[in-house]
Structure 1
Amino acid sequence: MNQLNRTTANIQTIRPIKVIQFGTGNFLRGFTDWIIDMLNEKTGFNADIQMVQVHGKRPATEVEKQEGLFHVITRGYQQGKIIDETRLITCVRGAVNPYLDYEGFLALGENPDLEWILSNTTEAGIYVDESDIDPSQPPASFPGKLTALLYRRYCKGGELLNKALHILPCELIEANGQKLKECVNAYADRWKLPDGFVAWHSRQVHYYNTLVDRIVPGYPSDEAAEIQQRLGYCDELMVVAEPFHFWAIEGPEYLKELFPTGQLGLNVLVVPDLAPYRTRKVRILNGAHTTIVPLAYLKGLRIVKEAVDDPFIGTFLQDALHSEIIPSMDMDPSGLEQFAQDVLDRFKNPFIRHQLSAIALNSVSKFRVRVLPSLIGYIRKEGKLPPCLITSLAALLVFYRGRYKGEPLPINDTEEVMAYFSDIWKSGEPYELVPRVLAMVPFWGLDLNQYPGLSNAVIREVRALLDEEKVWLV
């Protein structure tokens, strides 16, 4: 079987390198590279990507060996149909490692065709590293590397100073563009870069806050041989991605012309404010996960798809989403209903085995951010308690008991949270335990006992789950 590269695949098209991408991982390859590849095919975008390896000091051997080529395999469940599609991505030119070739990396900043900079360096990637004191050496942090690259461009001068750069960070933190810009400014101050650079950076380098959403599980190890046989190539970089994709970019209208994804009908939006989209994702997508995980696990389920296919949990989730979470939100319900249906389709993806135990990590803080606003919002708007979300909260408390039906539960939280629940469950009496837990302001941000009837409702649900366990043990 042929190794995938530009010779074996007969790919001769070479486009201007208009994009520098900090990161070589699964998500960027299965999301941004996939989008840019389609922009090249169907619009006049005409851009190739130069990857930058941000972690580790090994060369990006696989990227170089395959000359940037790889396949994205889109698989999942969407609008009642199974999707299984394959696309050969041809827009990546190669990858450079700054630790191995710092001069080659800096020289990328001198490229007159450069227009875009993308990144995904994990949620912890946008920071100032105290060890980055000498820009003549490769900085440890991504913002440090970016600052060094931008400074090389500034030093090159000439017409480059009149060309705008657009930076789209994809790290999953709020205000990612703003925070990245702040880090670059901090490095400019730290390294005592000239005022001219600071002025040019402020004028010509544009940062945009973004919100991205797509599950990209990555290399399909279990099926690799079969898929490669079907493709006819040995592709060590192929990635599996779900059909759903969403990219919201907070920016001006002219960005739609510069980044013409609207011509493709892709789920990529340029919007004046990301806040509604972030709220939608946290309350519906993340909130649905956190709502069902404890209860589904107590019911003996272990995989997200198994949970939504289960008659009881599936109905419970539908009721929670459509009757409680969406009504609790101050947004147009029609768009929320469609998003909720997309979420349910994603959960049913037969090609992804998403473990409930993985979602259960730090469930107390997740419940506070993802579910509690819906619970409180429902009480405020409807004037009554939301039964499904009450059941979810009760299941969370039982889950943190650590054992159920003779089986240990995969609780994984901070030492303080784990120690608190270990101690409080020693009483074993819901009527004592529940009010004390609801009063834990460090957990919830407020004393939940202030809502009339909430404590008694949670007590009833906790008792029901413990009674169910007793019947099972007998």
Structure 2
Amino acid sequence: MKPLNKTTVEKPVYPVKIMQFGEGNFLRAFVDWMIDKANNDGIMDHGIALVQPIGGGEVVKQIFEKQDNLYHVYLEGIKDKQPVKEVALIKSITDIINPYTEYKKYEELFLNEGLELIFSNTTEAGIRYEEGDDLNAEPPKSFPAKMTALLHKRFQKFNGDAAKGLQIVCCELIEDNGSTLREFVIKHAQANNLGDAFINWVKTANHFYDTLVDRIVPGFPKETIKEIQEEIGFEDNLVVKGEYFHVWAIGGDSSIKEKLPLDKAGLNVLFMDDIRPFRAKKVRVLNGAHTAMVPVALQLGCETVMDAFNTPEVEQFINRMVAEEVLPGIGEDPEELKAFAAKILERFYNPYLKHYLKDISLNSLSKWETRDFPTVADNYNKLGKQAKLTTFSLAALLVLYSGQSEVSFTPNDTPEFVQFIQSTFNKEDIKGWVNGIISNDKIWTAPLKNLPGFTDEVAALVETILSKGMKAAVTDLLQ
């Protein structure tokens, strides 16, 4: 087996136009994979320099350097109901920098005249405002402070030249990720008296983009790495495994289309003025289906998403819920919505990913409220009907959390909420028990209790599940 480096692979030389905060599996199997495709197609000519956003990480850095920043992305999934696999050797990473030990090299990178784009995935906790973060530290502690400091130094070096602003594309899994980062940069600038001219340059010469990223990336395939290395023919210790499906929605100033023409490489990258409607649609279809499926499938003995969709009752339950209740409540073109949902739900049939239901079940109460209650509310308020399938998923969730279900399950949720659900359970007064939960304003922020008939419907479905069992209850529901 060959080592993976520049002695065994011909690696092109690209000018560094992208600085990327984050060297983790997701960015490498998503963003960097896309850039590499566009580079290979001659659509782009962009080298990517990785910056480690937190201290440490020397072991990973050493592996990158040993492999000359080369690695494979190994994708498996379903496309048009057929198995599909793609293995790509990524050649567009030029360097990996630890700013805590290589600050001068890091500074040279962000002051590079040819730099155009910044990508980031500093995790959900990365975009936060830290009061008093020292902008003169090398580097500052938090990501927003790092961004403020580097932009200010760039502003000073180029004398406020508007052409030297950057396009900053955030991939953190929070809403309004780019907008929030921009807000915190300005807040740091104001707190440190960096001046109106700099703040104006941040606002006008730099563009911050809100995005929604979607691809399941399990990461390094530890269990099968030897087989994969044999298949690819290289001793690659940076292999990233992911699903074939991908979508990247980028919202904001339209100039990003020219700087990042990934759609021209046939990639599922969508540019839009405002990604919020798209996010809402994706959350209702994909995440809402996941959350609704979990309590039903777990009580039928399933362990993974694939197990669930190999169970006819679950497959029919989710497909009908999406088609009959979720999509009609969204209010867009029915045929476009149907095609969108088909692509989303096709992922549930992927036999190559072990997506465990117990992992998806984390914080199911808040997830159900955010992802599934809007469907119930819209069916009632807009369509004048009950969303009985979606409502059933809440009944199933309450039974699962009650400790009275057919399966042994320990909820991974807010302990006081779980304790309330379990301690108030009353087999002789299910309606009163359900009413107590739905009326608990500590559990819910949405007005579940105000929807006419909702509590009674949930209680009736809970009664059915407890008396007949999940299999019979969901079978009756689908008739």
Identify the TM-score tier after normalising by the shorter chain: over 0.9
- 1:440 matched to 2:444: no
1:72-471 to 2 correspondences below 5 Å: 72-130=73-131, 132-157=133-158, 162-405=163-406, 407-425=407-425, 429-469=429-469
The answer on whether the counterparts of 2:426 and 2:433 sit within 8 Å (CA) in structure 1 is no
1:23-79 deviations in Å (ceiling 9; x for gaps):
000110001001101111113410100000012323222222211111111111121
Deviations 1:123-147 (A, max 9, x none): 1110122352252332111112222
Partner of 1:8: 8
Q: Distance in 2 between matches of 1:26 and 1:416?
A: 34
5+ long unaligned stretches in structure 1: none
Asked if structure 2 preserves the Cα contact closer than 8 Å seen for 1:440 and 1:447, the reply is no
**One-letter amino acid of the structure 2 residue matched with residue 58 of structure 1:** G
Distance 1:437 1:268, change over 3 A: same
SS of corresponding position for 2:153: helix
Query: 1:56: which partner in 2?
Result: 55
SS across alignment from 1:208: strand
| Distance apart, 1:158 and its partner CA | 5.8
Pair 400,325 (structure 1): closer, same or farther in 2 beyond 3 Å: same
- Letter of the 1:227 counterpart: I
Change over 3 Å in CA distance of 1:147–1:447 after alignment to 2? closer
C-alpha contact 1:403 1:409 (8 A) present in aligned 2? no
* Partners of 2:78 and 2:246 in 1: CA distance: 13
Find the aligned partners of 1:388 and 1:70 in 2 and give their Cα distance.
Answer: 45
Kindly indicate whether residue 49 of structure 2 is the aligned counterpart of residue 39 of structure 1. no
Whether contact under 8 Å (2:41, 2:265) holds in the other structure is yes
Counterpart residue identity of residue 222, structure 1: E
Q: CA deviation at 1:469?
A: 4.6
125-134 vs 38-47, which moves further: 125-134
Counterparts in 2 of 1:425 and 1:137: CA distance versus 1, 3 Å: same
Deviation of 1:186 (Å): 1.9
Alpha-carbon distance in 2 for matches of 1:167, 1:446: 34
1:66 partnered with 2:91: no
The range that moved more, 56-65 or 232-241, is 56-65
Cα shift at 1:296: 0.8
How far apart are residue 81 of structure 1 and its match?
0.8
CA distance change for structure 1 residues 136 and 387 in 2, over 3 Å: closer, same or farther?
Answer: closer
Does the aligned pair in 1 maintain the 2:167–2:256 contact within 8 Å? no
Question: Aligned with 2:85: secondary structure?
Answer: strand
**Conserved 8 A contact 1:108-1:149:** no
Corresponding residue SS for 2:331: coil
Contact 2:135–2:148 under 8 Å retained in 1: no
Cα separation, 2, equivalents of 1:330 and 1:240: 36
Q: CA RMSD in A?
A: 2.0
Whether the 8 Å contact between 2:376 and 2:390 is mirrored in structure 1 is yes
Q: Separation in 1 of the partners of 2:27 and 2:64?
A: 13
Contact kept, 8 Å, 2:135 with 2:145, in 1: the verdict is: no
Query: Relative to structure 1, is the Cα distance of residues 61 and 191 closer, same or farther in structure 2, using a 3 angstrom cutoff?
Result: farther
Q: Give the drift of 1:436.
A: 1.7
Q: List per-residue Cα deviations over 1:101-141 (Å, max 9, x = no partner).
A: 12221221221110000001111110122352252332111
Equivalent-residue separation in structure 2 for 1:211 and 1:144 (angstroms): 23
Aligned to 2:476: none
Mapped to 1, the partners of 2:435 and 2:159 lie a distance apart of 68
Tell which deviates more after alignment, 449-458 or 232-241: 449-458
Find the residue that maps to 1:225 and give its secondary structure. helix
What letter corresponds to residue 293 of structure 1 in structure 2? V
- Alpha carbons of structure 1 residues 250 and 69: separation in structure 2 relative to 1, 3 Å: same
Tell me the alpha carbon deviations over residues 432-463 of structure 1, each in whole angstroms, 9 at most, x when there is no partner. 21122222233333553443332332222111
Change (3 A) 1:446 1:88: closer
Q: Following the alignment from structure 1 to structure 2, what is the Cα–Cα distance between the partners of residues 221 and 411?
A: 28
1:155 is aligned with what amino acid?
Q
Rounded Cα–Cα distance in structure 2 between residues aligned with 1:309 and 1:160: 58
> Separation in 2 of the partners of 1:78 and 1:90?
26
**Superposed structure 1 runs of 4+ greater than 4 Å apart:** 158-161, 469-472
- Give deviations 1:209-231, integer Å, cap 9, x for gaps: 11111111111111110110111
Distance 1:201-1:390 versus aligned 2 partners, 3 A rule: closer
Shift of 1:364: 0.7
Asked if the contact 1:402/1:411 (under 8 Å) is kept, the reply is: no
Instruction: Judge which range, 190-199 or 63-72, deviates more.
Output: 190-199
Structure 2 unmatched runs, 5+: 473-479
Query: How far off its partner does 1:250 sit?
Result: 1.2
Quote the Cα distance in structure 1 between the aligned partners of 2:232 and 2:446: 55
The alpha carbon displacement at 1:288 in A equals 0.2
Corresponding residue number in structure 1 for 2:17: 18
Question: What whole-Å deviation, never above 9, does each CA across 1:397-451 have from its counterpart, x for those lacking one?
Answer: 101113422x431311112212211221156631221122222233333553443
CA distance in 2, matches of 1:292, 1:221: 28
Deviation at 1:184, TM superposition (A): 1.2
Q: What is the CA distance between 1:180 and its match in structure 2?
A: 0.6
What is the TM-score of this pair, normalised by structure 1? 0.94
Contact 2:300/2:470 (CA < 8 Å) preserved in 1? no
| TM superposition score normalised by structure 2 | 0.93
Q: Deviations over 1:217-255 (max 9, x none)?
A: 111111110110111111111111211111111124443
State how many pairs are aligned.
Answer: 470
The answer to whether the 8 Å contact 1:5/1:69 transfers is yes
